[in-house]
Structure 1
Amino acid sequence: MDTTPQDLSHLFEQLGIDNSAPNIDKFIGDHKIPNNVLLCQADFWNESQKSFLKEAIEEDAQWSEVIDHLDTLIRK
């Protein structure tokens, strides 16, 4: 069983993005998506990141709650 904490910092680490608090804030501020676009379809993700996000939500995996939180933060 994976015991990695499920928070934004660790989600960004999973996605291969600098997970420092200032970078997370900047990323959320710089990347906004409209309500009609799924988070995993946003054009700023690479294919691997898109797959991770899509699969985690579809499978209601351990990351899904944190991904939902990021989704809320990143909406216009």
Structure 2
Amino acid sequence: MDAPTHEFSEIFKQMGLDDDPVEIDRFITTHSPLDDDVKLVDAPFWSDSQRAFLKENYIADSDWIVMIDQLNEALHKPKA
């Protein structure tokens, strides 16, 4: 049985953030780049519940892991 897959916008919706493409881009632009030594889960802009979601799903290697990794990459990528 294949694990469920999620769209990138779904992680934003899951964490109570706007999942509109323009707002996702605005969020990433506003909060990036994170310093290399800052783990995604330790970024200062997450609420406690958002941080818990990221941490729990990362530890569990859940079906959200691909989107968590993509979010991590997007927030650590230097601005063009």
Q: Give the structure-1-normalised TM-score.
A: 0.90
Q: Residue in 2 aligned with 1:49?
A: 50
- In structure 1, list runs of 5 or more residues that go unmatched: none
Q: Deviation above 6 Å: which 4+ runs of structure 1? A: none
The number of equivalent residue pairs is: 74
Please give the alpha-carbon distance, in whole angstroms, between the structure 1 residues aligned to 2:63 and 2:5: 10
Larger radius of gyration between Structure 1 and Structure 2: 2
Equivalence map 1:1-76=2 (5 Å): 5-32=5-32, 33-75=34-76, 76=78
- In structure 2, list runs of 5 or more residues that go unmatched: none
RMSD of aligned alpha carbons: 1.5
Deviations 1:24-64 (A, max 9, x none): 00100000211111101100000000000011111100101
Larger relative contact order (CA 8 Å, sep ≥ 6):
2
Q: Give the structure-2-normalised TM-score.
A: 0.86
